[in-house]
Amino acid sequence: MNDLLLNTLDSTVFTITTVFFMLFLTGLMIEMGVFQRMSYLARPLVSISHLPSVSASTLVISFGSALAANTMIARLKNDGHLSERQAFLSAVMNSVPVYFRELFTYQLAFVVPVLGLIVGGAYAAVAITTGLIKLLLVVILGRAYLSKDLTYTMEDSTVYSSVGIVEAAIRSLKGQVRIFLRISALYFFMTFLVLYVSREGLLDSIDFIPIAQAFRVPPETIAPLTIYVASPKAGITLIGPMIQNGVISEAKALMVLMLGSLFMLPAYAVRSLIPNYTSVFGMKLGLSLVITSTFISVSVRLVVLVILVLLLN
C-alpha cells in the first residue's frame, strides 16, 4: 500500500503543480482583463451556441492548453458566473481544438506516414469528424437550452475589471485556493484508484480473440489489436508494416483500428480523463463530461466499423 501511495504521489505532483500554476496564471490574466481582448477570435461560434462571451476566451486558450481553459471555466462556475449547463457545454467545446491541433502534430506527422495515405487519412478523418460532431452538439444544445439574453459576459462584469498586476495577483491567489484544494484532493484520489485497479489487473483482463473473431478480423492482427488498446502508437507501428507487406488489406487494417478504439477509448477515459475532469469540475460534472466525450468518440468509430463490416462481408 505504501508503494502504491508513493506511486500515486509521484504521478500527481507534476500535474497538481501545473494546475496550481495554470489556475494562478489564468486568474491573473482574467483579473487584468487580458482575455477580453482575445475573445473576439471565437465570438461568432460562441454566439451562435448561445454561450457567454467568456467561453470565447476559454476556447482560444484551449488551443494551447485545455487544462488552462477548463480551470478557468471551473473557477467562473465556482464563483457563480456560469451555470452548470454553460460550464458543461463550454468544456465540451474546449475539447474540440485538440483534434485539429493533433491533425498536424500527430495524424500528419505520425499516423499517415506509418499507415499510408488511405488508412492514415481515413483514421485522421474519423478523429476530425469526432471533433466536428462535438462542436455541432454544443451548437444544437446551446441553442436549445441556453438563453442568449442571460449569458455572462466579461465586459459587463465588475468583478473582472482590468487592474494592476499586484492587485490582480492577490485576487487570483484568493480566488484559486478553494478550487485548487478540491482539484488536488480529487485528482490524487482518482489517480490512486486507477493505479490500484491497474495493479489488480482489472483493466487488462479483456480477451480480444472472441471479439475479433466476431468481426472477422484476421488472426494475425490479434497481437497488434491488443497492443493498440494499451498503446495506440505501438499498435499503429505494428499495423503499418503489415499493410505495406500485404499481410492485411487496407480495409481490414482500418477495421482493426476502429475495433481497437472501442476498447482503447474507455480505457483511456478511466486512466486519464476521469482523474483530470473530476479533479477540475467535481465528480458530477466531471463524469458527465467524460461519459459524453467517450460516448461520442466510441459511437463514431462504431459506425465506421459497422459500415466496413457490411461492405466487406
Q: What pLDDT is stored for residue 158 in this prediction?
A: 38
- Single pTM value for the model: 0.75
127 in a structural domain: no
> Count of CB atoms within 10 A of residue 201's CB?
8
How sure is the predictor about 35, in pLDDT bands with cuts at 50, 70 and 90? low
Mean pLDDT on 57-71: 82
Per-residue pLDDT at 152 exceeds 60: no
Domain count, the chain: 1
pLDDT at 233: 83
Range 146-170 average pLDDT? 58
190 in a structural domain: no
Which pLDDT band, with edges at 50, 70 and 90, does 297 fall under?
A: very high
Residue 244 lies in a domain: yes
Domain presence at residue 257? yes
Q: Is residue 210, in this structure, part of any structural domain at all?
A: yes
> Which pLDDT does position 310 carry in this prediction?
87
Give the count of alpha carbons within 13 A of 129, CB side only.
15
The predicted structure's pLDDT at residue 160: 44
Q: Nearest-CA neighbor of 78 among 274, 275, 285?
A: 285
Least confident of 10-19, 212-221, 242-251: 212-221
Q: In the prediction, which pLDDT does 23 show? A: 67
Residue 248 lies in a domain: yes
Q: Cα separation of 187 and 254, whole Å?
A: 35
Residue 156 banded pLDDT, cuts 50, 70, 90: very low
pLDDT bucket at 139, cuts 50 / 70 / 90: very high
Using the predicted structure, report yes or no on whether residue 157 has a pLDDT greater than 60: no
Average pLDDT over residues 57-76: 83
Domain extent, residue 304, equals: 201-313
What pLDDT digit, counting tens, does each position of 96-113 carry? Answer: 988 988 888 788 878 888
Most confident of 3-7, 80-84, 87-91: 87-91
CA-closest candidate to residue 242, choices 103, 119, 67: 119
pLDDT-based confidence at residue 299 (cuts at 50, 70, 90): very high
Average per-residue pLDDT for the chain: 80
CB–CB of 258/304 below 8 Å?
A: yes
3-state secondary structure of 182: helix
Is 206's pLDDT higher than 60? no
Confidence of residue 135 (pLDDT cuts 50, 70, 90): very high
d(CA 84, CA 311): 43
Residue 211 has pLDDT above 70, yes or no: no
For residue 75, what pLDDT is reported? 83
pLDDT number for residue 282: 87
Residue 147 lies inside a defined structural domain of this protein = no
